A and B are shown apart, each in its own frame.
Chain A
Amino acid sequence: MSSAEPPSESAAAEARAALDAHAVETVAWHFHESTGCPFWLEKKSELKFDPLTEVTCYDDLKKFPEFEDEWLRGGPVRRWVPKGLADKPVYVFETGGTTGVPKSRIAIDDFRTDYSLFSDTLPDQYFPPGANWLMLGPSGPRRLRLAVEHLAQHRQGICFCIDLDPRWVIKCLKKGWIEQANAYKQHCIDQAITILTAGHDVKCLFGTPKLIEALCLELEERGTSLAECGITGIFSGGTEFTPQWTKFCVEELFGGPPEESGVYMTPTYGNTLMGLACSEPVTAENAYKITYHAPQPRAVLECVDFDDTDRVVGYGETGRSKLTTLTKEFFVPGFLERDEGEREPPCAAYPWDGISGVRPFSKLQGGTTVGVY
């Protein structure tokens, strides 16, 4: 059975039951005086219901008011650390930050868990256990570098890293400093090629779409290719990851589908709050359609009506991406993302809803700089 085929009724029911139980357990943890975090314990007094007794399934999370962006901006960040985990080492990861205060979240082990689980979805043929990795993307206060490095280590490999500061790139683009932005990109690509050609036996690559494209074009300019450099597996993420771009990569930059070129690419849709959504296989037969499924029950992605954000749209219909994070480290009910897409049905590999065609939320497009790294 293909992973993209529909799930059995029992698989879907089991997944739903697991989600309901996990939602109750997570809320109980975050709102209990002995284990909860200061933010939610304080917020509890403002709620018109008791989360400890009135959340009996996932749908009960709709009782929470809409989660506000601003709650994640500014400190003290420790108010997000659950008492039950207070003795653990804590990381803070940020998103945004080009102007103003970035949104931040605390993390302890979530980023490792997300990527360990994601590792199980990677085919060993193209991501050989023990192979070394190259991480070509943002580091700094973002979780991506640590997460990809953990993924490589989890698969018994060693990760080489190239840094990229997306905040600087966004500033360049907003100021119209296109040449500087391109020079910075070239600087990153030059470092990547140095690593790839230095005998480190790198077979796997994480890269943002723009950097993968630039890397392939530069390798072509130098008379070589990713395959010739030894790369067999690529995982890449970003909202600009479109079917057309994937078609271009597979057909022209990689030299054909994996069975011909030996290069396999899987897209991901991840962020600081959610972890990593996995993709159904992306193939020419499916017109390179990219469908993501959240790592349920740790996170839930819903495709909701633009105005009535408690209403999930019908299958195939367009809606706004709404995220719920349900881990012991972090609880975020109903966070409205800056993305939109089409609601997709469950499949055998992921027996819960997915989302396809993810792109910047059209009503916000004027205010965001897209396709940064």
Chain B
Amino acid sequence: MIELKSIRWGKPYESLDVEEVKHFYTGEPVARVHAVGGGIIQRDAKKAKYARKALQAIPPAELVDRLKKAGELFENGTLPIGDGVQTPDDFIAQQSATTGMPVSMCRANVAKNAFVLKNIDQILDCLTRGLSLDLLARGYGEEGRGVTVSYQATCDALGAVLPSNSPGVHTLWLPVIALQMGLVLKPGSSEPWTPYRVFAAMTEAGIPPEVFCLYNGAGSDIGGAILGSCRRAMIFGGPQTVDQYAGNERVQVHGPGYSKVLLGEDCVDDWEQHVDLMVDSVYRNGGRSCLNASSIYAPRHSKEIAEAVAAKLGPIEVLPPDNDEAGLAAFTIPGAAPAIWGSIENDAKADGVTHVTQAYGDRLVERDPVAYLRPVVMHHASHQSETRNKEQMFPMVNVVECPQDQMLRAIGPTLICSAITNDEAFRSDLINSIDIDRLNLGPIPTPQVDWLQPHEGNLIEFLYRSRALQLA
């Protein structure tokens, strides 16, 4: 069992409050984490400027080199974590043990995070839209067309309240160090592993440890303190969290994705060609991430589409987490899966809504002390169905019959929209839609990320503000 102390600007802090992170199935303790209270975070926040100064002393190009090395170490290194050492296999096993995610999914997420670090120069080039990091470091410079541009940092360190459900989201904060800002992280309560491994990999690669804070403990207390004391912070949560921080310029909130696949009038008759794409969009990463499609819209053939997708997703069984074929994650919070299932059953009673995976056996699989939900496909005969855009933390998709000219009104907020259409007028409407964040034009699965495109909420725009600077 590993002991993970909180990290306060690089220094381990021994707390009197120690919590155990347990194996999702056996209940055996896997880690002991030292928890802190909000007061410590508020106090430490006053020293954030020293983290920035320490990073400003290192040229951006050198930081980039060290981060690339950190990517290698994150993926392949045996690293000091807490009071122990951790091989890549240990990391994957520990992550699976405490989150309930299949080993294969954990392994896939390692590659994703490592890719971002190993290609950090290209990622940053994309995030900055080609702006030199030296310009950000200096605060101003010439853009190459005789115009002085200036960018001002909006904070000394980025705070992040991290989730336990999907280790892939860590890609969002990994570039921060190269931007010469510190990191104040609250690891997910059942997934402390990724932040600690990133911290170890980065410090082994030469990033000063004093630019990191990792705080374990009660979510509301620590989360509130991080969001209250960091001038820029990101948080992951549900619709309630999104509502709470809407309009708060200090907080970038990452909520449910409500990602969708849309089939245009011109392509819908070829729907059979896109069944695998739709299944992949729903099922990849266990259906747990914001990038997974939760709704498919089609002007016709929606029933056949639902049945075809159900035929692929419906038979998927719960497999042990170490089985390479396992694709479903356990719900580790007691009562969560039965409650979600109850809500879905209730939704299925509405007029025009049909549970299409019903024929493939029980969806709720209870394996005390956890439970699983097998994939669910719902068909909605009308785009006016109230539950057409509902999103769940497992592979569940709503297939909605909807005329093309009603789609943009019906889809609502959408993180990823994969629109399969060649209709230029429809494409133009999609491009102009303010409800869609990332737009995929053509048959691209929703979870397919082009790392040279900024993800939701551009980090540069969040951490820097463009300003006027005149030189005499």
Contacts and interface: CB of A to CB of B under 8 A. Distances in A.
Given A213-B39, A248-B37, A248-B40, A288 B221 contact: no
A244 B35 contact: yes
Contacts of A220: 43, 46
A242 B16 contact: yes
Interface majority SS (helix, strand, loop, mixed), chain A: helix
A368 to B, nearest CB: 13
Contacts of A247: 15-16
A80 B377 CA distance: 62
A221 B35 CA distance: 24
Interface string A65-88: 000000000000000000000000
Contacts of A287: 16
Nearest to A217: B42
Interface in A190-241: 213, 217, 220-221
A371 B221 contact: yes
Contacts of B244: 176, 178
B443 interface: no
A245 interface: yes
A290 to B, nearest CB: 10
A221 B37 contact: no
**B35, B39, B40, B43 pick with most chain A CB within 10 angstroms:** B39
Interface string A280-304: 0000000110000000000000000
**B36, B42, B240 pick with most chain A CB within 10 angstroms:** B42
Interface majority SS (helix, strand, loop, mixed), chain B: helix
Interface in B1-48: 15-17, 35-37, 39-40, 42-43, 46
A59 interface: no
A252 B37 contact: no
A351 B202 CA distance: 55
A253 B36 contact: no
Interface in A255-290: 287-288
Interface in B216-271: 221, 224, 228, 240, 244
A182 interface: yes
Contacts of B37: 213, 244-245, 248
B16 to A, nearest CB: 4
9 contacts: A213-B39, A217-B43, A221-B46, A243-B16, A244-B35, A244-B37, A245-B37, A248-B36, A252-B43
Interface of B: 15-17, 35-37, 39-40, 42-43, 46, 221, 224, 228, 240, 244
The 3 A-B pairs with the shortest beta carbon distances in the complex, nearest first, are A244-B16, A244-B17, A213-B39
Given A176-B244, A178-B244, 17 more contacts: A178-B224, A213-B37, A217-B42, A220-B43, A221-B46, A243-B17, A244-B35, A244-B37, A245-B39, A247-B15, A247-B16, A248-B40, A252-B40, A253-B39, A287-B16, A288-B16, A371-B221
